[in-house]
Amino acid sequence: MSKSKTFVALDVGSYKTVAVIGDLDETGKLHIIGFGETLSKGIEKGAVVNPSEAIKSIKEAVATAESNSGFRISSVVLNIGGVHIESKNEKDFISFSSSNKEIDQNDINALIEKISEKFKNDNIQILHIIPKMFVLDDDEIVYEPVGLIGSKISGEYNVITGKVNSISNIKKVVEQSGLGVMDIVVNPIASTTSVLYEEEKDLGVAIIDIGGGLSDIAVYKNGHLEAVKSIPLGGNLITKDISFRFKISKDIAENIKKQYGVASIEFVEFNEVVEVKSREDEETIKLEKYEIVETIEWRLTEMFEILRKELEKTGLYDRLNAGIVLTGGVANTPYIQHLAEKIFEKDVRIGKPKEFKAFNEKFYSPEYATVIGCLQFTASALKDKHVGSNSSEMFNFNISDTFTKFFDKIKNLF
Ligand SMILES: Nc1ncnc2c1ncn2[C@@H]1O[C@H](COP(=O)(O)OP(=O)(O)OP(=O)(O)O)[C@@H](O)[C@H]1O
Ligand SMILES: [Mg+2]
């Protein structure tokens, strides 16, 4: 019988909640085999603001994924975002009593433990410890120290943390929806996994995932993660602006934005008029398309200016030679690349998830970069575990001690 592993990623976003079932076949290829999506309720800027509404959205997305795949979902890998997510570069070293010790995984684990100690704090939780580089015996830069001989190994890591309470709140609503949380992947790391090329990370790149409530940023240079940040800016602000300016309901503003919106007035004709209803049961009104697009352009411009300042704070802005990659639903706005290039003064591309097979073309879209990336992150971990289940069974993700330890270890390898 063929062996494959089946697992689920859940993205409880500020705009949509998505559950995606992935199957890793025996050749290591990831297939999307189930999918459920619903508009999110009870989540704002990545945080739970109404637990019972959030639970309803999660249950609905999961039920749809179950019904179109035939699998029962008991556990998920969860994407999380939010302004409480932070990252810091941290260094430390381990010296050996022998001058020619062969470095093994236990030494690296001890180094990671030393780094983790620096983040011991009741309010924050480490979510990822990502190695940047190692220095052997104070003079040789190495990327994989295990198996090398030395008397001292120094390591630099990017440590991503989140607030314990914010993480507990999102985990709790997932658990109250009847699901186990087998692992957590922060949004920018997930989007990076599905979208970025290694060459871009080497050259220097910033990925910005602009969703409904959050802009999640990750910055890479020389192949390493340098910074992660989550800024409370997203497409919901554009919808609100349209709704306020034209005195129309938010739902109608959202539809207008998607139907007629483009990122810049350079791409609209004057005097183009669109007819819309201000509210479901009210009369049709006429709006200048130019004014709709002007509203979008103002807000996007302001968002990009703030995001540019955030990127400049990393000190790497001038060295991002591969430019900027945009993902998230807002990246679907026509001509957004053009506006972004003007403000960032860099090459901009729209990032679409790659390297998986799906039954529906819609997954190759920027708004699925996070959830698909979460599956791919998990798939890499599972590939290394060399275990399989029958293809007809759901991979057992109930959290066990071994499993948690396994994932902790794997996370440290990324
Ligand atoms: N074609 C489109 N044109 C303009 N905006 C769009 C389009 N498609 C989606 N959006 C916007 O993208 C945003 C949703 O993006 P996404 O689905 O990535 O959000 P999310 O992951 O749920 O939220 P977050 O990551 O902020 O928690 C919404 O504001 C939506 O209006
Ligand atoms: Mg998102």
Q: Which atom of ligand 1 is nearest to the CA of 213?
A: 26
Ligand 1 atom 21, closest CA: 13
- Whole-prediction pTM: 0.92
Separation CA 320–CA 202 (nearest Å)? 9
Mean of pLDDT values over 233-261: 96
Q: Which ligand is nearest to the CA of 328?
A: 1
Q: Which long-range contacts (CB under 8 A, 24 or more apart) does 309-314 make?
A: 310/217, 310/229, 310/231, 311/206, 311/217, 311/219, 311/344, 314/219, 314/226, 314/227
Pocket of ligand 1 contains residue 366 by CB under 6 Å: no
- For atom 4 of ligand 1, the residue with the nearest CA is 333
Pocket test for ligand 1, best of 14, 15, 233, 300 (most atoms within 8 A of CB): 15
pLDDT in tens, 157-210: 999 999 999 999 999 999 999 999 999 999 999 999 999 999 999 999 999 999
Q: What is the pLDDT of residues 104-150, one digit of tens each?
A: 999 999 999 999 999 999 999 999 999 999 999 999 999 899 999 99
Q: Is 78 helix (H, G, I), strand (E, B) or coil?
A: strand
Ligand 1 proximity of 253 Cβ (cutoff 6 Å)? no
* Any ligand 1 atom below 6 A from CB of 81: yes
Contact by Cβ (8 Å): 366, 350 = yes
**Is ligand 1 within 6 A of the CB of residue 260?**
no
CA 334 – CA 258 distance, rounded (Å): 9
Q: Locate the domains of the chain by residue range.
A: 86-164
* Ligand 1 binding pocket includes 385 (Cβ within 6 Å): no
- Looking at the domain covering 86-164, what would its CATH class be? alpha beta
- Please tell me the distance between residue 215's alpha carbon and the centre of ligand 2 in angstroms: 8
Residues written for the chain: 414
Indicate if ligand 1 lies below 6 Å from the C-beta of 211.
yes
Band of pLDDT at residue 82, cut at 50, 70 and 90: very high
- CA 76, distance to chain mean position in Å, is 15
Alpha carbon dihedral 48, 54, 57, 61, in 10-degree steps, equals: 60
**What integer best gives the mean pLDDT of the chain?**
91
